[in-house]
Amino acid sequence: MHDSRTRRAILRVGKDLRAPFNRVLARYSEVGDPPVFEPALFPWVRSLEAAAPLIKKESEQVLAVRDRLPPISEISPDHKRIAADDRWRSFFLWGYGYRIESNCVHCPETVRLLETIPGLMTAFFSVMLPGTHLPRHKGVSKAIVTCHLPLVVPDDAASCRIDVEGHVHQWAEGDCFVFDDTYPHEVWNDTDQERVVLLLHVKRPVRFPGSLAGDLFLGAVRRSPFIRDARRNQDAWAERLAERDRLAAADGE
């Protein structure tokens, strides 16, 4: 009950502060405030795209063990509003600045590259199974930008798309798509194949004093019960997998 009251209080305060914080961030943004960005604005995009084949190879090794891919709503229950079923799955490497060592060990080359991206907050393999639809929604803070590095795109690309404030985009393998998720956006995979992207949240380049506002907001989010719950859920999922692997190894002896 106490935790529930704390959550509601945080949501109320966050809702009140979100708009003024975002106005400051937009005003001092070094990359403007469009719904969709030119990828060239971010120097790290080029190295990310160049490494796409290697990242895809490591992701395939992870995806081969489907039990390692929890529905994102199991890791972050606050996503249940837009991902009520298990069609949107995830494999987290970073979550709001916290590195997830038990997962990073499976993707060493991808991790080495991600460590070179300044301001990296979140990184995970985002898997949308056939028939996935995420209804229109929006993020909370302009302190970050979202980047998709497509690794697996269905053959019928026109039926697998994202709409960001009226900008409809179809993913292409190896071509980064960078956008501001505080604008309303909606996602469809109306195909019989899955879509896989490496999804990143990276700090937006912002001049002072906007940078201070962004750091304050992100610091508060990192310490919130929402992120604590997500970390606890991720650790529990990893422990269940480790226990399963230990039992399987024991049976094989």
C-alpha Rg value of the chain to the nearest Å: 18
Short-list 57, 50, 176, 42, CA closest to 117:
42
The pLDDT value recorded for residue 63 is 86
Residue-range domain boundaries for the chain: 2-252
The pLDDT value recorded for residue 218 is 82
Q: Which range, 7-11, 138-142, 150-154, is most confident?
A: 150-154
The string of pLDDT tens digits covering residues 183-232 is 999 999 999 999 999 999 999 999 999 998 888 888 877 776 666 776 77
Average pLDDT over residues 158-170: 96
Average pLDDT over residues 160-188: 97
The pLDDT value recorded for residue 250 is 60
The pLDDT value recorded for residue 214 is 86
Rounded to whole angstroms, the Cα distance separating 163 from 144 reads 19
- Report the CATH superfamily, name and number, of domain 2-252: B-lactam Antibiotic, Isopenicillin N Synthase; Chain (2.60.120.330)
The string of pLDDT tens digits covering residues 87-129 is 888 899 998 888 999 889 999 999 999 999 999 999 999 999 9
Rounded to whole angstroms, the Cα distance separating 101 from 94 reads 9
The pLDDT value recorded for residue 11 is 46
Average pLDDT over residues 237-249: 64
Rounded to whole angstroms, the Cα distance separating 216 from 90 reads 27
The string of pLDDT tens digits covering residues 43-89 is 999 999 999 999 999 999 888 876 668 777 666 656 656 655 778 88
Stronger pLDDT, 136 or 226, i.e. the higher one = 136
The pLDDT value recorded for residue 235 is 73
- What is the value of pTM for the model shown? 0.87
Average pLDDT over residues 153-182: 96
| Residue 192, both tokens | 């019989």
Buried b (16+ CB within 10 A) or exposed e, 93-125: bbbbbeebeebbebbeebbebbeebebbbbbbb
Confidence class of residue 157 from pLDDT cuts 50, 70 and 90? confident
The pLDDT value recorded for residue 87 is 84
What angle is formed at CA 171 by the lines to CA 169 and CA 172, rounded to 5 degrees? 135
Rounded to whole angstroms, the Cα distance separating 247 from 251 reads 6
The pLDDT value recorded for residue 7 is 46
